[in-house]
Structure 1
Amino acid sequence: MKRGLKILVFIAAFGLLLLSREPVKAQCAICSTNVASNKQDGGKQANGLNHGIMYLLFAPYIAVGVLGFVWYKKYRRKNVEINIPNERLNLN
C-alpha cells in the first residue's frame, strides 16, 4: 500500500508541476538588450549566444556518454565460457 501511495503522490506532484508552468526569461536585462539591439543591426551576436547555450547544454551529456563508453569497455566480461549440460529438463 505504501508503494502505491508513493507512486500516486509522485504522479500528482508531476501533474501539478506540468500544469503550473510560467514563461521565464533566462537572460539578464543587459544581455537580452545587447542581443536584441545587435540582432536588429544585423550582427551575429545572437547566433553566437545560441551556439554557446547549445554547447553548455550538450557538454554534460557528451561527458557522461564518454565515461559510460569507457566503463563499458573496461569492465565488460571477456572470454566467458558457459557450460550448459546437454541433459533433458523435466519441468513437472
Structure 2
Amino acid sequence: MSRIMKKHIILSIALLLVNFYDVYAQCAMCRATVENNISDGASQVGAGLNTGILYLMAMPYILIASIAYIWYKKSQQNKVKTTLA
C-alpha cells in the first residue's frame, strides 16, 4: 500500500468514529427532550419528532434513487449513441 492510501484509510476511520459519537449524543438529547415534554403533558412533540425522523430517513433513499435514475438515463443515451455510430 502506498503512503497516501494509508493516510486516506486512517483519515476515513477517524472521521467515521467522530461522526458515530456525534450521532449517538444526539439520540440521547432527543430522548431526554421527548421524555421531558411527555411528562409535562405536551403530546405534539412526539408527533413532530416522528415526522422529523421519517423525513431524515427518506432523504438518503431519494438521493440514491435520483442518482440511479440519472445513471440509467445516461446509460440509455450512451447505448443509443453507440448503436447509431
TM-score after normalising by structure 1: 0.46
Structure with bigger helix share is 2
Structure with the larger RCO, 1 or 2 (CA within 8 Å, 6+ apart): 2
TM-score after normalising by structure 2: 0.48
